[in-house]
């Protein structure tokens, strides 16, 4: 256990590193990991209550507390009301991160390790950090997968929470991952068609790009020969507020240029920086199921027939053979796809949690379907729901969303 204090302009950042069990419910398993949390306080806010931020992913660390375009845009608003705890979820950032070097232990050992990095274990880590700070109760802000983790929190330790704020993270509860990915295809079909209505000439441009990919003529700077399915995934950018600009810019470029190759590499999801994001992704919807490449299995016929339809967070087994960053993780990912994940949510416990707060549900969300979010919201009558088409999935980072949620939770008129 260690603590370091830093000053960043008007912010005090107390950095805490705790050694915690890898396996929480097996005292005989003595393996440990480090869990890192930064407590951020603005001058004058030393007595404010705590808000723990749970990052999206899975597989991404918390943002760093910078007053800059690279910092979290919501942080200033949060610091007006709270001391903010930025937790690096286990396996990310400074919390014993998963990295390519781990593969030397063998695929089965790594896959087994990854089974202990789910939302339920992250909740136990949060509880350890809360106890370490001497806090009786705190609030939570969950973005995307962080919202999923908040639901897991309400399933087991609701008594530790005051208000909950969820943005794009009211996950399906009690549903099979096939249900989720099927509906996500519907969302991407709608997003694709909306895009082509605005820019009809780009449909032919996309078709030509897919032909080039099928001929092996798109090669990225890291040597990846881009497959058609991988190419189509850059349309996942349509899930962000300004993501259409990314798609438009790519479809305007000459595909033989360095600019296109580098921009395409940056636009496609599941890069190599966080291997956990690809290898572990489908587990985030596995509430008591094995995924067995769910997104691949439920692909609709029209997505097979119409190559201009973009895909979203739909991972493909073939990428473990064609993407250099994923190739070393092939055996791990294959094992995880067959793993029977235990239940992570308790609908009855969520419904009886008495949770208060507010949640933003994005009508056009291509990653966390609106319809299932509404189902889950019915378990949380004390959490005010803001349904909006003003933002896409990344609305928290676009600004203004947290302000509205805090106002809703406190019974104020929406500004």
Q: How many Cβ atoms from other residues are within 10 Å of residue 147's Cβ?
A: 29
Rounded percentage of the chain residues whose pLDDT exceeds 70? 98
DSSP-derived secondary structure letter, 225: B
pLDDT of residue 67: 65
- Is pTM beyond 0.85? Reply is yes
Mean residue pLDDT of the chain comes to 95
**164 within 8 A of 138, measured Cβ to Cβ:** no
For 104-156, write each residue's pLDDT tens digit. 999 999 999 999 999 999 999 999 999 999 999 999 999 999 999 999 999 99
What tokens appear for 102 in the block?
């781990």
pLDDT digits (tens, 9 = 90+) for 380-407: 999 999 999 999 999 998 878 999 999 9
What residue has token string 């609106």?
370
Whether 38 contacts 14, CB under 8 Å: yes
Instruction: Tell me the pLDDT tens digit for each residue of 52-107.
Output: 999 999 999 999 987 656 567 899 999 999 999 999 999 999 999 999 999 999 99
Angle between helices 201-214 and 177-198 (to 10 degrees): 120
Q: CA angle 337-343-347, nearest 5°?
A: 140
- Rounded to whole angstroms, the Cα distance separating 356 from 158 reads 10
pLDDT tens digits for 325-366? Answer: 999 999 999 999 999 999 999 999 999 999 999 999 999 999
Structure tokens at 412: 């104020």
Mean pLDDT of all residues in 221-228: 97
Residue 412 has pLDDT above 70, yes or no: no
Q: What is the sign of the dihedral through the CA atoms of 352, 353, 356 and 359? A: negative
Q: What is the mean pLDDT of residues 271-284?
A: 91
415 pLDDT tier (thresholds 50, 70, 90): very low
- Per-residue confidence at 272, pLDDT binned at 50, 70, 90? confident
DSSP conformational letter for 219: B
pLDDT, position 71: 61
| Domains along the sequence of the chain with CATH | 2-174+345-409 (3.40.50.1820), 177-338 (no CATH)
**Separation of alpha carbons 315 and 364, rounded Å:** 20
How many percent of the chain have pLDDT more than 90? 91
Q: Which of the four pLDDT bands, split at 50, 70 and 90, describes residue 414?
A: very low
Lowest mean pLDDT among 1-15, 249-263, 284-298: 1-15
What tokens does 51 get? 């808000």
Which H/E stretch holds residue 267? helix 258-267
The yes-or-no verdict on residue 277 having pLDDT over 90 is: yes
Q: How confident is the model at residue 413 (pLDDT cuts 50, 70, 90)?
A: very low
- Give the separation between CA 165 and CA 383, rounded to whole angstroms: 8
């Amino acid at each position: 256990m260690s603590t370091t204090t830093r000053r960043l302009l008007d912010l005090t950042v107390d950095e805490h590193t705790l050694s915690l069990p890898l396996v929480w419910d097996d005292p005989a398993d003595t393996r440990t990991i480090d869990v890192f949390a930064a407590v951020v306080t603005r001058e004058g806010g030393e007595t404010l209550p705590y808000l723990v931020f749970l990052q999206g992913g899975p597989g991404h660390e918390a943002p760093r507390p910078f007053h800059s375009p690279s910092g979290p845009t919501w942080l200033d608003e949060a610091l007006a009301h709270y001391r903010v705890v930025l937790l690096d979820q286990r396996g990310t950032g400074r919390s014993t991160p998963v990295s390519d070097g781990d593969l030397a232990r063998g695929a089965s050992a790594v896959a087994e390790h990854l089974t202990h990095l789910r939302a339920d274990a992250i909740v136990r880590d949060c509880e350890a950090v809360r106890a370490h700070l001497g806090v009786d109760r705190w609030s939570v802000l969950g973005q995307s997968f962080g919202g999923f983790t908040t639901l897991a929190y309400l399933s087991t330790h609701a008594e530790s929470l005051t208000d909950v704020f969820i943005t794009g993270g009211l996950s399906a509860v009690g549903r099979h991952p096939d249900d989720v990915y099927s509906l996500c295809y519907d969302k991407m079909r709608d997003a694709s068609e909306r895009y082509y209505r605005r820019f009809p000439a780009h449909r032919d441009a996309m078709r030509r790009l897919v032909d080039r990919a099928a001929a092996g003529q798109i090669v990225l700077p890291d040597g990846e020969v881009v497959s058609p399915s991988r190419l189509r995934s850059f349309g996942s950018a349509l899930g962000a507020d300004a993501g259409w600009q990314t798609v438009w810019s790519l479809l305007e470029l000459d595909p033989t240029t360095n600019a296109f190759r580098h921009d395409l590499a940056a636009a496609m999801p599941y890069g190599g920086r966080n291997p956990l994001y690809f290898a572990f992704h489908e587990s985030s919807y596995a509430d008591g199921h094995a995924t067995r490449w769910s997104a691949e299995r439920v692909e609709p016929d029209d997505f097979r027939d119409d190559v201009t339809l973009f895909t979203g967070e739909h991972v493909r087994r073939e990428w473990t053979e064609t993407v250099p960053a994923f190739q070393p993780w092939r055996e791990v990912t294959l094992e995880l796809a067959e793993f029977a994940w235990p239940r992570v949510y308790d609908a009855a416990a969520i419904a009886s949690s008495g949770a208060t707060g507010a949640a933003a549900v994005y009508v056009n969300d291509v990653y966390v379907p609106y319809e299932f979010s509404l189902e889950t919201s019915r378990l949380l009558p004390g959490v005010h729901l803001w349904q909006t088409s003003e933002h896409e999935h990344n609305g928290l980072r676009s600004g203004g969303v947290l302000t509205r949620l805090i106002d809703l939770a406190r019974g104020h008129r929406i500004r």
